[in-house]
Structure 1
Amino acid sequence: MVTQDFTAQTKQLIDNLKGVCTSYGLGNDGNEFKIITQVFLYKFMNDKFAYELKALVPALQEAESWEKEIADYTEEDYEMLLLRMNPDSAKLKREHFLSTLFNRQDQEEFAKFFDDTLRDIAIFNNEIFSVKTGTGAKITLFDELSNYITDSSQRDNFCKALVNQLVNFNFDKIFDQKFDFFSTIFEYLIKDYNKDGGGKYAEYYTPHAVAKIMASILVDSPVSNVTCYDPSAGSGTLLMNLAHAIGEDRCTIYSQDISQKSSSMLRLNLILNNLVHSIQNIIQGNTLRNPYHKVGEKLMTFDYIVSNPPFKLDFSDYVEDLDTKQNSERFFAGFPNVPNKDKDKMAIYPLFIQHIMYTLAPKGKAAIVVPTGFITAQSGIEKRIRERLVEQKMLRGVVSMPSNIFATTGTNVSILFIDKANTKGDIVLMDASKLGTTVKDGKNQKTLLSDDEEDLIINTFNNHEPKEDFSVVVSYEQIKEKNYSFSAGQYFEVKIEYTDITPEAFEEKMAGFKKNLNALFAESQALEVEIKKQLGGLTYE
């Protein structure tokens, strides 16, 4: 009940912040996204700071105003208190508190004070929270939000309105909870900013069911001190589910994504999910062209990799840069041809699959969302990738998902599982396309899986359990015999049903068949006569 109430309250806060933006002319503006996410983060950091402070000084929990109690500390005592805090937590000066902003709303140039406060928090915590670009530049935590209001006379009121939405909300009750429920909030937070018209690098939210299935199959036993990577991370849904399955304190996250918006959202996701220690590994940049994570000159390898890569994207401008001797092993299966028209329909996902195979550790595991057409393609790059997975004995299995599991695309998808340690075989191929319930999602159809259906997929896969018309367990040799097809349906046993029938019933059926045939033959003869008659009546004029 705590999480349900909190989720509803958080969605209301997001709506209220959107309302403020709309009132000041920023409704559906490109900057609205930045304002809402950064204000949301500022509030979270304030409440998390207060929560940890009260844990260090229990007397503050009983204080009518913990801020007033802290105000009486000397500078030296306050600095000592900050040193005792978790090194991965945001450190706030007393002038950074939300209560300070609230109490100083009547001062002149409040907008400047508001912006200066957020900027100083970013500087004070830069080593912990900054995201790097592929060139090493740091993207700070907060922008000067008031500058998004073009009418400077309205900036003070705009910042006051934002602060007033924050003071009646509190994260305090959920810091002892596991943060899985943030996925619902996160989807709500970004849903208006992930439209199809989001530009060349539009991001699409991976459904929670897909993320859960991928993580639960990858992590089927306890592990620790492992690395997790997503080369097309987006806002981090897959990484968050993977980290929850492993344990946030038992893994380190690495990612790269070309989108600045996605990198900022992933940073927020890491902060919300107790993964601040991995923020330094979040890179904004082009993974295929300039992969960032390296050990010396060699690409780093990872224990777990998850990815929902873009399926189609125009990368014709740099495909020649990739086709080099240095990249010959990373892109062993080659590159898609550049179409003469519709270059944005170039299939980029096979390059991500090859990159993932190349960056898997010797016993690494991966789960990748792919178009279902990939698993049966009869030639080309897709076929060569499947052959390599079988020949090198690193295929774990495939789950073909229901149609419209992604509301934003009509493409049918499957999940490809790779495991470099799966040398003995026992490959699970599953057709889950008949599961789920179809619902309306705006103008689109969306298929939702129930908890029981999700568990059916996960448990059947992890238990290597064959089920009629649902799953099969096959060997590498069987896959070779089927021309490297990864489609479960091609391995299902074909059954012929026999029905007992009496001699009398058999004669009756045969008589019926003969009667129907005689009627059809008679009709055919009549048509033949009529056609000849019509042809005989034709004359040349």
Structure 2
Amino acid sequence: MTQDINFMTKTKALIDNLKSVCANYGLGNDGNEFKIITQVFLYKFLNDKFRYAVKQEMPALNDAENFSEALHNLSEDEYQFLVASLDPNIPRLRPQHLISHLFTIQNDSDFGKTFDDTLRQVSVENAEVFSVKSFSGAKDSLFDDLTQFISDSSQRDAFAKALINKLFEFSFEEMFEQKYDFFATIFEYLIKDYNTDSGGKYAEYYTPHAVARIMAQIMVPEPVKSAKVYDPSAGSGTLLMSIAHEIGEENCTIYSEDISQKSSNMLRLNLVLNNLTHSIPNIIKTNTIAQPTYLDTKFDFIVSNPPFKLDFSDFHADLDKDAFKKRFFAGIPNIPKSKKESMAIYLLFIQHIMFSLSDTGKAAIVVPTGFITAQSGIEKKIRERLITNGWLRGVVSMPSNIFASTGTNVSVLFLDKKADSEHIVLMDASKLGETVKEGKNQRTVLTPTEENRIIETFNAKQAVPDLAVVVTKEQVIEKNYSFSAGQYFEVKIEYVDITAEEFAEIMNGFESRLQKLFAEGNALDEEIQEQLKSLRYE
């Protein structure tokens, strides 16, 4: 545990040091700082991952005084044989691509250009595994020419040297040896200053870990093998990482779509840190609603925290294609004359998810709580279809302010193509949680005990007074397809045994108090009338 904390401290220190370098060269809080920090960190991680894998495959290199030189001394055939024996998810680096090599040549002229050229070569040679694709099939570059963000060209060599010196200070290799599992925390620390949506339409970068864990542990109550897992509005991948850990990284393949390049890059880094590199080719930067890549693919597990409201009037007409008729069975929200930004795009995501489930598929979707009781419209049609098809496993209504990014009350829909329609769990967890202050905002945080209570109650299909009810498909239909637990709670009437004399005494007490209140009211009325008369005569 002490070693775990030690590595965590060192890793956070590396991130802080990289930010200091950016600040020293005028890039603190600059729009490009995010690219520099995340890409340099990724380069460091890939460098150390390669070194670790090569030493495992060729133990003789463990004793080499200069690893990059020893690698350089291999013949081309030996190098190719070594690289071919590595796991496909391990990056392929040349000796001249290593940080240790760059460290030794940092005083050469044009070092900034050498640094950029190195990252570009790493990008090209690893594009097949590590690139994010767009809807058109074009692949992005893993790394940018980072020194070009320094406007003063005379400072670029010094900037590159400063970065390399920070990267050289410690290695991740021992972490791979011990299989430490704290990279989710490291990822959050890495992106915490950049975790806002700066123009991306869909990216919902942060889902609270409590919500992500609840979704994953309710969806995966037992072991799973060879699962296809999908998020159509993936953001940085919090939900995907949570369910992948629950299933087991080796037992699932991740698929995702999101319109934001920034969030796609965050997700790629998250996959690398969480041993899911094999899924990077399945990250697609696209408009999931209008240009879905995976329209013909069906998934075993789907998680989503979609944007609730968004102006999609610019591609509204594209959604009326014949190819989409079956997908959007409940309809497409109309374009309002004003407040177009209030268009309920989440209703399209719910329908898209329903369309994308395999025959035994399961889904968990974050929705505004208003969805579960709306009396008409697309919301009602979707709920009717879920009940008619027998796909609703249950709903958990979360405490208010559980999301830092929205004050909207949210619920989580749990869908299952093989759901038990006689035991639908409706849970009202809105009264749980503790209020904490984060800056100027207040947020509700669930305790670990409360998380476990929600998960265990739901998975056990257990009715708990004032928390959860277990209802049948027929009961939901009787309640006009309401998914709100509160509408099914029994009204409690407490009966107290009293004598006729005690009852008469209580009623007399009520009567006396009422007479007194009436008398006080009459007196006050007379006083007001007298004051009005005196004002009139004045």
Q: Normalising by structure 2, what TM-score?
A: 0.95
Which residue matches 1:512? Answer: 509
> Residues 233, 199 of structure 1: CA spacing in aligned structure 2 closer, same or farther, 3 A cutoff?
closer
> Residues 513, 424 of structure 1: CA spacing in aligned structure 2 closer, same or farther, 3 A cutoff?
closer
> Residues 444, 527 of structure 1: CA spacing in aligned structure 2 closer, same or farther, 3 A cutoff?
closer
Match of 1:428 among 421, 425, 430: 425
Which residue matches 2:225? Answer: 224
Q: Cα offset for 1:533?
A: 6.5
Distance 2:124 2:357 in 1: 36
Q: Cα offset for 1:505?
A: 4.4
Distance 2:536 2:268 in 1: 84
Q: Deviations 1:355-385 (Å, cap 9, x if unpaired)?
A: 0001111110001111111111111111111
Aligned ranges for residues 262-277 of structure 1 at < 5 Å? 262-277=263-278
Q: Cα offset for 1:49?
A: 0.9
> What amino acid is aligned across from residue 288 of structure 2 in structure 1?
T
Alpha carbons 2:393, 2:421 under 8 Å: kept: no
Which residue matches 1:392? Answer: 389
Q: Cα offset for 1:200?
A: 4.5
Using the TM superposition, name which of 529-538 and 211-220 deviates more: 529-538
> Residues 497, 284 of structure 1: CA spacing in aligned structure 2 closer, same or farther, 3 A cutoff?
same
- CA RMSD between the two structures: 2.2
Distance 1:276 1:199 in 2: 24
Q: Secondary structure at the match of 2:281?
A: helix
Q: Deviations 1:258-292 (Å, cap 9, x if unpaired)?
A: 00111111111111122222211111010100111
Distance 1:375 1:137 in 2: 40
Which residue matches 2:279? Answer: 278
Q: Deviations 1:327-363 (Å, cap 9, x if unpaired)?
A: 2221111122222222222111010000000111111
Alpha carbons 1:393, 1:425 under 8 Å: kept: no
Alpha carbons 2:203, 2:258 under 8 Å: kept: no
Q: Secondary structure at the match of 1:477?
A: helix
Match of 1:340 among 323, 337, 344: 337
Match of 1:324 among 317, 321, 324: 321
> Residues 337, 20 of structure 1: CA spacing in aligned structure 2 closer, same or farther, 3 A cutoff?
same
Which residue matches 2:463? Answer: 466
Alpha carbons 1:194, 1:202 under 8 Å: kept: no
Which residue matches 1:128? Answer: 129
Distance 2:500 2:103 in 1: 93
Which residue matches 1:78? Answer: 79
Match of 1:493 among 484, 490, 493: 490
Which residue matches 1:28? Answer: 29
Using the TM superposition, name which of 111-120 and 261-270 deviates more: 261-270
Q: Cα offset for 1:180?
A: 5.0
Distance 1:443 1:276 in 2: 38
Q: Cα offset for 1:531?
A: 6.6
Q: Secondary structure at the match of 2:207?
A: coil
Using the TM superposition, name which of 356-365 and 14-23 deviates more: 14-23
Q: Secondary structure at the match of 1:60?
A: helix
> What amino acid is aligned across from residue 316 of structure 1 in structure 2?
S
> Residues 463, 288 of structure 1: CA spacing in aligned structure 2 closer, same or farther, 3 A cutoff?
same
Distance 1:28 1:535 in 2: 67
Distance 2:438 2:533 in 1: 63
Alpha carbons 2:203, 2:263 under 8 Å: kept: no
Using the TM superposition, name which of 512-521 and 477-486 deviates more: 512-521
| 1:372 and 2:369 correspond | yes
> Residues 257, 470 of structure 1: CA spacing in aligned structure 2 closer, same or farther, 3 A cutoff?
same
Work out the number of aligned pairs and report it.
537
Q: Cα offset for 1:111?
A: 0.5
Distance 1:203 1:184 in 2: 18
Q: Cα offset for 1:433?
A: 1.5
Which residue matches 1:259? Answer: 260
| 1:411 and 2:404 correspond | no
> Residues 87, 199 of structure 1: CA spacing in aligned structure 2 closer, same or farther, 3 A cutoff?
closer
Using the TM superposition, name which of 209-218 and 99-108 deviates more: 209-218
Match of 1:359 among 356, 361, 378: 356
> What amino acid is aligned across from residue 183 of structure 1 in structure 2?
A
> What amino acid is aligned across from residue 415 of structure 2 in structure 1?
I
> What amino acid is aligned across from residue 304 of structure 2 in structure 1?
S
Alpha carbons 2:202, 2:306 under 8 Å: kept: no
Distance 1:130 1:186 in 2: 19
Q: Cα offset for 1:524?
A: 3.9
Q: Cα offset for 1:68?
A: 4.0
Using the TM superposition, name which of 35-44 and 212-221 deviates more: 212-221
Which residue matches 2:99? Answer: 98
| 1:186 and 2:200 correspond | no
Using the TM superposition, name which of 64-73 and 231-240 deviates more: 64-73
Q: Secondary structure at the match of 2:235?
A: coil
Distance 1:281 1:303 in 2: 15
| 1:438 and 2:439 correspond | no
Q: Secondary structure at the match of 2:466?
A: coil
> What amino acid is aligned across from residue 221 of structure 2 in structure 1?
D
Using the TM superposition, name which of 517-526 and 471-480 deviates more: 517-526
Q: Deviations 1:93-122 (Å, cap 9, x if unpaired)?
A: 000110001111100000000001111111
Q: Secondary structure at the match of 1:116?
A: helix
Q: Deviations 1:135-162 (Å, cap 9, x if unpaired)?
A: 1111021111111111111111111111
| 1:477 and 2:477 correspond | no
Which residue matches 1:204? Answer: 205
Alpha carbons 1:194, 1:203 under 8 Å: kept: no
Which residue matches 2:47? Answer: 46
Structure 1 stretches of 5 or more lacking a match?
none
Q: Deviations 1:423-473 (Å, cap 9, x if unpaired)?
A: 543111111112222212222112222222211111111111111111111
Distance 2:270 2:456 in 1: 28
Distance 2:90 2:208 in 1: 29
> Residues 355, 512 of structure 1: CA spacing in aligned structure 2 closer, same or farther, 3 A cutoff?
same
Q: Cα offset for 1:238?
A: 1.0
Alpha carbons 1:129, 1:279 under 8 Å: kept: yes
Q: Deviations 1:159-182 (Å, cap 9, x if unpaired)?
A: 111111111122123225667532
> Residues 325, 538 of structure 1: CA spacing in aligned structure 2 closer, same or farther, 3 A cutoff?
farther
Identical columns (%): 63
Distance 1:539 1:386 in 2: 64
Alpha carbons 1:180, 1:244 under 8 Å: kept: no
Distance 2:306 2:482 in 1: 22
Match of 1:305 among 298, 302, 305: 302
> What amino acid is aligned across from residue 187 of structure 2 in structure 1?
F
Q: Cα offset for 1:241?
A: 1.3
Q: Secondary structure at the match of 1:164?
A: helix
Distance 2:287 2:206 in 1: 19
Which residue matches 2:166? Answer: 165
